[in-house]
């Protein structure tokens, strides 16, 4: 997830504000939300596919993050932010025993 944060900076205008929230869950795991005020995405799910990029990059970063989250029993989602831009949400469950 942290790798997707700097990768997204070139795709947002200078001065774009962002917020990071980390909320632990009872029993383990947690929810990490990175929210910005940038232009957002017209289709938040398509960009999670390998090779899809809105600005000329390889389109691998979010796909790698999504697959990593799934392998850890979680998920990575994108949606329109209340701040007007994009929310990148990483949800992870408790660690395996």
DSSP annotation of 85:
S
- Enumerate the domain spans of the chain: 4-92
| Phi, psi for residue 62 in degrees, rounded to 5 | -70, -35
Residue 97, pLDDT above cutoff 60: yes
Compute and round to an integer the Cα radius of gyration of the chain.
13
Give me the pLDDT at residue 57, please: 64
* Model pLDDT for residues 40-86, shown as the tens digit of each residue: 776 555 666 666 665 566 667 778 888 888 988 899 988 888 878 88
pLDDT digits (tens, 9 = 90+) for 2-25: 444 555 556 667 788 888 899 998
- List beta partners, residue 19: 35
In the CATH hierarchy, which fold is given to the domain comprising 4-92?
Heat Shock Protein 90 (3.30.565)
């Amino acid at each position: 997830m942290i790798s997707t944060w700097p990768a997204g900076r070139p795709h947002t205008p200078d001065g774009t504000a962002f917020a990071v929230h980390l909320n632990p869950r009872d029993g383990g795991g947690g929810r990490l939300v990175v929210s910005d005020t940038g232009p957002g995405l017209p289709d938040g799910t398509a960009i999670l596919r390998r090779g899809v990029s809105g600005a000329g990059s390889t389109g691998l970063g979010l796909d790698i993050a999504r697959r990593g989250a799934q392998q850890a029993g979680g998920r990575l989602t994108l949606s329109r932010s209340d701040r007007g831009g994009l929310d990148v949400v990483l949800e992870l469950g408790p660690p395996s025993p």
